[in-house]
């Protein structure tokens, strides 16, 4: 095993190419150690890098995955990240059955984390695979991830979507309509995508139907599964998040305010309020 360890010239960092935690469009994630701590090491091709690393490095929020450091070689950038237990997609598909906060806490934590990201003028590729469930330490928290495709927004709160490989199943209708044209990410488009994630977490299905019809249904404003929420406390919030027109969508401040009454009496994320899936 020793001969497989990679250090990138940093004695405080090591990982093995044989210990793969996951793969995606943007790279491969390995299991590693950083200053003796278990970490995830995400490898991304340098030619795909286009964001300001300084902004990512200074993110510090309990609902955003911590970036400890990064290293480069001639071909790749390696992000040294907080190691989590699973992603939200794995939970929704039943692959993760460990502890997770209550429904209200998960939605609230996602909203507060995204609000922080927006305050830092960043845009994320929002989808269930880019939302992580922390290891109990001792509290389990939900965290936004996706280092390598974050983009800085301009003074108008928008950013170019070029180079961001968002999955169309989790994309706002204004982005689908402008596919291949000049399209800009924005707070309302992030809120639409987050609303899709909220619904998927709660009901384990996409609000706009099966894979083959999602894109068309989003474009045509047909959330065919929305009634699955029935009288769920989050239905009014989700409906306002996935409003077809960006101008009609609820803000993150309003989302947080509407979710607060449904939080358990103990602080959000309190281990006593958590349960196994």
Instruction: Please pick, among 2, 60, 72, 125, the residue that the annotation labels catalytic.
Output: 125
CB contact at 8 A, 142 and 268: no
Beta sheet of 37-45, edge-to-edge order: 5-6, 13-24, 27-34, 37-45, 76-82, 67-72
Residue 253: CB atoms within 10 A of its CB come to 10
> Where does 141-247 show beta strands of DSSP type E?
142-144, 151-152, 158-160, 184-186
Question: What is the total residue count of the chain?
Answer: 277
CA dihedral 200, 204, 207, 208 (to 10 degrees): 110
- Which of the 8 DSSP states describes residue 260? G
> Where does the chain show beta strands of DSSP type E?
5-6, 13-24, 27-34, 37-45, 67-72, 76-82, 84-87, 99-100, 122-123, 131-134, 142-144, 151-152, 158-160, 184-186, 275-276
155 is catalytic: no
Show which residues are catalytic. Answer: 125
């Amino acid at each position: 095993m020793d001969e497989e360890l990679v250090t990138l010239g940093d004695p405080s960092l090591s990982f093995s190419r044989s210990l793969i935690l996951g793969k995606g469009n943007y790279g491969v994630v390995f299991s590693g150690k950083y200053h003796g701590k278990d970490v995830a090491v995400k490898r991304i091709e340098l030619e795909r890098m286009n964001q300001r690393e300084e902004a990512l490095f200074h993110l510090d929020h309990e609902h955003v995955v911590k970036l400890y450091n990064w290293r480069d070689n001639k071909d790749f950038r390696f992000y040294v990240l907080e190691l989590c237990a699973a992603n939200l997609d794995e939970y929704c598909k039943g692959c993760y059955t460990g502890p997770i906060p209550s429904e209200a806490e998960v939605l609230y934590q996602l909203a507060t984390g995204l609000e922080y990201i927006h305050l830092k003028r960043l845009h994320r590729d929002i989808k269930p695979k880019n939302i992580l469930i922390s290891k109990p330490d001792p509290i389990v928290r939900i965290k936004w991830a996706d280092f390598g495709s974050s983009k800085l927004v301009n003074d108008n709160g928008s950013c170019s979507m070029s180079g961001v490989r968002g999955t169309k199943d989790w994309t706002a209708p204004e982005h689908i309509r402008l596919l291949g044209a000049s399209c800009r990410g924005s707070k309302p488009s992030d809120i639409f995508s987050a609303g899709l994630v909220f619904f998927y977490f709660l009901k384990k299905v996409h609000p706009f139907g099966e894979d083959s019809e999602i894109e068309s249904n989003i474009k045509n404003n047909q959330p065919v599964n929305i009634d699955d929420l029935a009288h769920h406390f989050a239905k009014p919030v989700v409906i306002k998040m996935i409003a077809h027109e960006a101008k009609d969508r609820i803000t993150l401040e309003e989302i947080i305010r509407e979710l607060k009454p449904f939080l358990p009496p103990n602080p959000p994320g309190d281990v006593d309020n958590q349960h196994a899936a």
